[in-house]
Amino acid sequence: MYLYMNIEISILQNFVNALPEKVALFDTNFKLLFKSEILIEKELNNFLEHFRNKYDLETFLNQLRSSKKYELSVLETESVQFKIGFQFQTLIFSDQTVFNFFYIKFNDLIDSEIEMQSQIDQLQMNQINLDRMKGLAEIAAGISHEINNPLTVIVAKTQYIKILFENAADNKLKILDSLDKIYQYSDRITKIIRSLKNFSRDASADQPENNLLSGLIEDAMNLLGQDIRLSGIQIEVDMNRMNILVRGIPSEITQILVNLIRNAVDVLVGREQPHIQILLENLQNKKIKLSVIDNGAGINKDDIDKIFKSFYTTKSRDKGTGLGLSLSKYLAEKNKGSLYLDTENIQTCFCLVLST
């Protein structure tokens, strides 16, 4: 009798060993019988150690015997996550011997879910980078002008100093004044290039850090300076109040600010006495609220529920893709904050909440 039984168990063992899936068979005392070759020892041992520490074995086996169903479960530890299926089985061999066992199938769905989420995160990051590059393309002419104007002044002042040096003693004050102007305009170019570098860099591997809020706002203003001046917009911001530290990835927070200020600039084109306010309010739980307010025509009530949806835009096709606000909201939440429209304000007011 045992000879036939052993032969048939051997057949079962060979079958399990050859399975292209992670499967282990146990007897009714939870003793390992055999496993498929694809299931490595370390993975199996990690599971067994965790399972025995977490579950009452006798209770579990009784429940499995009574249900005899395929039960899918997720078991988690601090470092390992298992998604497994349990099933109780009965085999009757040719000699009528009854052989009870249960098997565990280690399901790769968790790995697939992690991989899928990783791909979604990568697509989101690609979208963020594309939005940033699109923003740079749109403001490239303005940035070029912002750099070209100071360079023109520097060249002119340099030529002027050459002339003044022909009678340096009498022109000392004029030379010093011209050198001061060269320094000021060189500093202006340095700040614009710094802002451009900070904004354009790939932040996918960056970690949150403490940032001076005034510096982030200055970066956004440097990038949009030409557009703001050409539109005749007055921007009211108390930079001294903005000298506080906020927590986050600097290029991502700057991207939010650029999107918000750029949107305000776009809606104010052609409007009488265009005006933007940037206000700061301290909140509880180490949070601050930065409000970007414009005196434009406002947002249509029918559009309020749609403005943060991807690809929704009220701008013309050449002016916007409808990604700016949706990505800004995502970036705010990614940096442990939030972005919303203050519908109680009589003017258009977008509020960015950040951690300090």
Per-residue model confidence as pLDDT tens for the chain (356 residues) = 344 445 567 777 777 777 777 888 888 777 888 888 888 887 788 777 777 777 777 777 776 666 655 454 555 544 444 555 666 666 666 666 777 777 777 765 444 444 545 555 666 666 677 777 777 766 776 777 778 878 888 888 889 888 888 888 888 888 898 898 888 888 888 878 877 777 777 776 778 899 999 999 998 888 888 888 878 888 898 988 899 999 999 888 998 998 899 888 888 887 888 899 999 999 888 999 999 999 887 788 877 777 777 555 655 555 555 567 888 888 888 899 999 988 888 898 999 999 98
pLDDT number for residue 291? 93
Pairwise CA distance, residues 207 & 249, whole Å: 6
The upper half-sphere exposure of residue 147, i.e. CA atoms within 13 Å in the direction of its Cβ, equals 14
pTM above 0.85, yes or no: no
The pLDDT of residue 78: 46
Kindly report the number of other CB atoms within 10 A of residue 80's CB atom: 13
Give the largest CA-CA distance in the chain: 121
Residue 279: what pLDDT? 93
Name the segment(s) of the chain with CATH classification 3.30.450.20.
2-107
Q: Which fold has domain 139-355?
A: Heat Shock Protein 90 (3.30.565)
Q: In the prediction, which pLDDT does 103 show?
A: 73
Tokens 């200055």 correspond to what residue? 218
- Kindly report each contact of residues 126-134 with a partner whose C-beta sits within 8 Å and lies 24 or more positions away, as own/partner: 127/323, 127/327, 128/252, 128/255, 128/327, 128/330, 128/331, 129/202, 129/204, 131/255, 131/259, 131/321, 131/323, 131/324, 131/327, 132/199, 132/200, 132/251, 132/255, 133/200, 134/321
Looking at residue 2, its pLDDT comes to 42
Q: Which ranges constitute the DSSP H helices of 90-212?
A: 109-164, 172-200
Residues in the chain: 356
Pairing of strands 234-237, 275-283: parallel
Please list the residue range(s) of the chain that carry CATH number 3.30.565.10: 139-355
Tokens matching residue 282: 């301290």
Q: Is 1.20.1260.10 the CATH number for 2-107? A: no
